Structure 1
């Protein structure tokens, strides 16, 4: 199994705000999205690009995953943004307004043309009606390593706007889009991150939505405020009960008499090899989380 990188908490930071870029170096988020798009006014975009590139090159973000979100390629800033982002060599570049697989393929070709390092992967914003309708095709680009795609990010605010659906706390309208995209991501071995919760002062509502996202299969959640990081990390981490049970499954299958079996019994419960795969992932994530938290 390849090393697993937890993506429980993925915090947006406005690229035009130098204080925010500096503060991000001390926050216990798994990943940081340094944003050049929605959070930056048009007349500040060029300046923000320089600040973000300088911050990433300076480093100091430790084990946090650093992602740059440029403006869409079709905008006046998009091409320059992605070229500048590639020069900074972040962990990933988050492509906004993805409508179809061609957006990912085009971005990957740009990165290749400027010899961007292999470590710089692509993430895709799933925030348009076309991105949901074509989520399987978009996710399928991840099957080719040349395309660098490793993660999908739900843009639920934009999806609500474009669909004219009501933004209710039970996310009734959003669930089909989330579920479709989770299945597409898993079909091609990608991670997927849930959309933001706008009322950052409502911790109870935020916790419920984190639990909802985890139940749907999300790896983590995008965040708009540092206060959301701690509860998000808690909810998207394996529980002690999950870790203990997973270790029991692994230990049982490691017994010589169980090595050739597809199905065994553990504490009176039927366990298949598919549960072994899940158990190994749970333990691997738990170990990675522990390493990150010890570093913080």
Structure 2
């Protein structure tokens, strides 16, 4: 069976949060190197300001030039009083994607798909043109069902959250004294990666809340990239360049991958798919990894 391709066509090394009614922070964020901006209508907006923030974000989508940045709206949870209005208002001039918080199961993903499809039809937008980025571990139910959350065709990426999950479970912390995730949260991180890649969707790592700790962020990004994550959500402009660097294949990595691909061409012509290369045995998994590195580098070059 051929493994699904998780490279995708949208670059999401860094998806950066912007409070949904803060014009100053939006202006600053537009000048950053973030690949996408997440216009937040959920946690960054108090209940009394939900209506005004929603109108502001809808106006941004209609009037602001985001350049090459992906335009993402984090809507309020499906079971909240605000979700339907969030979708209705922002589908007039639709975003590229919605970040969907506190998802419990695949049925909720399908329900949101139906809501969006209705407004795509109503406003004459391309069917399926708005993607979903699903926050899959903010509730215990979501974590239990994470294997199915990315299955829907409209879902393009799966990410996870430690803060809401720890609150939902009554955890006193989600990291130990050394800064490592406690076991249940490391499990959530692993299962997000598995749940995304099982369906060929992009896995996005969660926020690093200590925005002053650049070294800690870089270390966590290095681990994420090594695991297979393709990007990370950011909450402070100082995090963006660190994240972009971590999820961009280095020149040496790209050169090595291209060299390996050439070696596979020669080996296949000789009837081999497993052979020695630079002192180690390589076979199909190494080929798959090399192709992804080159594909990512080429996509970044096209989008530059």
* TM-score of the pair, normalised by structure 2: 0.88
SS in 1 for 2:92: helix
Given the superposition, is the C-alpha separation of residues 259 and 278 from structure 1 closer, same or farther in structure 2, using an over 3 Å criterion? farther
SS in 1 for 2:108: helix
Distance 2:278 2:187 in 1: 36
Name the structure 2 match of 1:85. 90
Shifted more, 278-287 versus 96-105: the winner is: 278-287
Name the structure 2 match of 1:130. 141
Name the structure 1 match of 2:215. 204
Name the structure 2 match of 1:56. 61
RMSD, matched Cα? 1.9
Distance 1:203 1:3 in 2: 28
Distance 2:291 2:263 in 1: 12
String of CA shifts for 1:252-296, please: whole Å, max 9, x gaps: 22338537532233233322123222211111111222344x4xx
1:119 to 129, 143, 154: 129
Name the structure 1 match of 2:234. 223
Matched ranges for 1:218-257 at <5 A = 218-255=229-266
Cα displacement (A) at 1:119: 2.3
Distance 1:3 1:51 in 2: 30
Q: Which structure dedicates a bigger proportion of its chain to helix? A: 1
Given the superposition, is the C-alpha separation of residues 7 and 259 from structure 1 closer, same or farther in structure 2, using an over 3 Å criterion? farther
SS in 2 for 1:255: helix
SS in 1 for 2:156: strand
Cα displacement (A) at 1:59: 3.8
Name the structure 1 match of 2:101. 96
2:157 to 138, 141, 151: 151
Given the superposition, is the C-alpha separation of residues 198 and 15 from structure 1 closer, same or farther in structure 2, using an over 3 Å criterion? same
Given that 1:24 and 1:61 are in contact with CA atoms closer than 8 Å, whether structure 2 keeps it comes out as: no
Given that 1:265 and 1:271 are in contact with CA atoms closer than 8 Å, whether structure 2 keeps it comes out as: yes
SS in 2 for 1:114: helix
Given the superposition, is the C-alpha separation of residues 157 and 19 from structure 1 closer, same or farther in structure 2, using an over 3 Å criterion? same
Name the structure 2 match of 1:73. 78
> Which consecutive residues of structure 1, in runs of 5 or more, have no partner in the other structure?
none
Distance 1:233 1:281 in 2: 17
The alignment of Structure 1 onto Structure 2 pairs a total of residues equal to 288
Cα displacement (A) at 1:3: 5.6
SS in 2 for 1:234: helix
Distance 2:106 2:9 in 1: 25
Given that 2:8 and 2:202 are in contact with CA atoms closer than 8 Å, whether structure 1 keeps it comes out as: no
